[in-house]
Amino acid sequence: PDVSDDEKEQREQGAVGRQPVFLLPTVVTGLCGVLVAVHVAASFMDAAGLRQLTLWFGYVPLRIVAGFDNPADWWPLLWTPVTHALLHANWEHLIINVAWLAIFATPVARRYGVVPTLILSVVSAVAGAAAFTATSLYDGRFLVGASGAVAGLTGAAVRFIFQPLVV
């Protein structure tokens, strides 16, 4: 029987060995896994535990102003501009961020590697926190979610994703 070239290629690949379950770079799979693991762990907390988690790891710009009255309020500003990206408000928020992370972090990771992808994620999360500060310094609201990091990875991917592949 006649076999198409695509079918021949699929048979040859199957003969070579098993294909991975996830075709994402390891760093992207790891980032997605960490986001999901943190949210699953948080889903087992009671309301008081969730408040404490958000208080200690969510980003609150009002701490900048409150720190003038009580310098101890500034301490969480050392880690929360990054750790807020690990928390999500609900499952929908998490799923959307993980999907966009998988879509746009993949080309960045394949092009630049693990360390630059992680650095860009952290820098973009901090930039997201800075933008949130600029728009809501006195509101007393919390920032949670990886949207800032995902936006930075999206911007990096858009720079080259539509360019022709040079071999």
Comparison of pLDDT for 17 and 99, the residue scoring more? 99
- Global pTM value: 0.82
pLDDT higher than threshold 80 for residue 24:
yes
Across the strands, what pairs with 143? 59
pLDDT in tens, 111-127: 999 999 999 999 999 99
Q: Is-contact 89 44, C-beta < 8 A?
A: no
How far is it, in rounded angstroms, from Cα 56 to Cα 73? 11
pLDDT higher than threshold 60 for residue 163:
yes
What is the token pair recorded at 70? 């009580």
Comparison of pLDDT for 22 and 45, the residue scoring more? 45
How far is it, in rounded angstroms, from Cα 16 to Cα 152? 37
How far is it, in rounded angstroms, from Cα 74 to Cα 136? 17
